[in-house]
Amino acid sequence: MLQVKQWCDDLFGLLFPNLCNACGVSLYHSEHLICTKCLYDLPFTDYHQHAENRVAKQLWGRVPLNAAMAMLYFRKGAKVQNLIHNLKYNGRTDVGVLLGNMLGEKLKISSLYGDVDLIIPVPLHHKKYKHRGYNQCTSIAEGIAEKMEIGFSEENLVRNNATESQTKKSRYNRYENMQNVFNVNDQAHIAGKHILLVDDVITTGATLEACANELLNSGAAKISIAALAFAE
């Protein structure tokens, strides 16, 4: 029976290969979603250990934050981009949960994030959510929550308006573009709490700035930020 099962597994693997989401090579039986080589080669930051990191400095003077970090460096054409592309556009929410687990493990050992009360993912506009079928940031938040043993809420922070790309806008125009975009549904649920705001990739930081300001204006005591990657 074991030989038959192995034969069936091998045939299934031939017809539907289990590939690494970072490099595309076939995974061994002991590997899950990302091959061992890619896991070893991922460009990790140490931002969870240092308050004055590059992500935090990018947001200085824009919004009062307890802490801000990203787990990985993002470079075009590299493995991190492949992982996030599969998460965002190929329905691989399991990749988001796995990477969220990895991020949660780092946050657990950081004194900067030790008193987080609630995790909130950056929301998608409802039209984009309907088209994609999921919010990639929610799967990341789910993975973090699992490791930190903290609840997360996908419903409380909502996006009212779709916005244009921020990348070619000036800082002032980015700020203007994000005005009145987000809204908190239940202020009592976040009042007095330390909120961990979760994103996939930090670029200009304008979206996170707008989300954090809305949460603070709605009664949150502290905001910290954690993302999978930081675009250098």
Please state whether beta strands 194-202 and 182-184 pair in parallel, antiparallel, or not at all (unpaired): unpaired
Sequence-separated (6 or more) residues with CB below 8 Å from residue 77: none
* Average confidence (pLDDT) over 125-154: 96
Looking at this protein, which amino acid is placed at residue 80?
V
CA 107/CA 70 separation, integer angstroms? 10
Instruction: Please provide the average confidence, as pLDDT, over all residues in the chain.
Output: 90
CA 23/CA 105 separation, integer angstroms? 24
pLDDT at 15 exceeding the cut of 60: no
pLDDT at 2 exceeding the cut of 60: no
pLDDT at 97 exceeding the cut of 90: yes
Model pLDDT for residues 99-139, shown as the tens digit of each residue: 999 999 999 999 999 999 999 999 999 999 999 999 999 99
Number of C-beta neighbours around residue 68 at 10 A: 28
Specify whether the CB–CB gap between 218 and 187 falls below 8 A.
yes
Specify whether the CB–CB gap between 217 and 224 falls below 8 A.
no
pTM above 0.85, yes or no: yes
Q: How confident is the model at residue 17 (pLDDT cuts 50, 70, 90)?
A: confident
CA 36/CA 205 separation, integer angstroms? 31
Residue owning tokens 């905001």: 223
CA distances (Å), origin 154, targets 21, 99, 142? 25, 18, 10
Q: How confident is the model at residue 9 (pLDDT cuts 50, 70, 90)?
A: very low
